[in-house]
């Protein structure tokens, strides 16, 4: 992991033993299946997580009581190579309504060999969170932050390989 205070970003990488198309789909379309269920800011227990797979779409959580928490906007959606979303979560771990105070998460996917995909996640522009932004950097770079998130993703994605691919997989 690289934490660069000059650029106000955190970068984390992993390699997934799966073809790039499946890895991208697993990361985006199946996000609710690998995301830590304790990492949500809803007041109610989470029922599901939704990612609208298009620029301008949202990432939001739906509670068991029907409440919704829109915590990200899709900024780039370029399968199977790039996915970028806003991090509309403030230092108080509540939704940040001002887009100018949101950081961004860019995830790049590249082939790393036969049926191997390198995933590079960069959480950038952390200083947009304002005074005290360093606490966000510390939280997302801590063992329970993006390192754990990408670890969960990698383990979950590789478990899916024992299952037959869906018809829309190009593997």
Residues 103-117 have pLDDT tens digits of: 999 999 999 988 999
Q: Give the model's pLDDT for residue 40.
A: 93
The mean pLDDT of the chain is 92
As a whole number, mean pLDDT of residues 71-94 equals 97
pTM of this prediction exceeds 0.95: no
57 found inside a domain:
no
Domain that residue 97 falls in? 2-36+78-160
The runs of H, that is alpha helices, within the chain are 20-29, 31-34, 133-141, 146-160
Q: How many domains does the chain have?
A: 1
29 found inside a domain:
yes
């Amino acid at each position: 992991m690289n934490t660069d205070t000059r650029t106000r970003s955190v970068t984390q990488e992993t390699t997934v033993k799966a073809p790039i198309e499946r890895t991208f789909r697993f990361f985006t379309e199946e996000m609710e299946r690998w995301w830590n269920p304790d990492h949500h800011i809803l007041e109610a227990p989470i029922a599901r997580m939704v990612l609208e797979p298009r620029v301008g779409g949202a990432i939001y959580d739906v509670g068991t009581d029907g409440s919704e928490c829109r915590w990200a906007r899709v900024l780039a959606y370029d399968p199977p190579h790039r996915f970028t979303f806003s991090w509309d979560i403030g230092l108080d771990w509540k939704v940040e309504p001002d887009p100018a105070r949101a950081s961004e998460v860019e995830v790049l996917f590249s082939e790393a060999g036969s049926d191997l995909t390198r995933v590079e996640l960069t959480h950038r522009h952390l200083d947009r969170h304002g005074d005290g932004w360093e606490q966000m950097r510390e939280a997302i770079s801590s063992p329970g932050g993006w390192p754990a998130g990408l670890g969960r993703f990698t383990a979950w994605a590789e478990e899916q390989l024992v299952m037959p691919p869906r018809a829309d997989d190009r593997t």
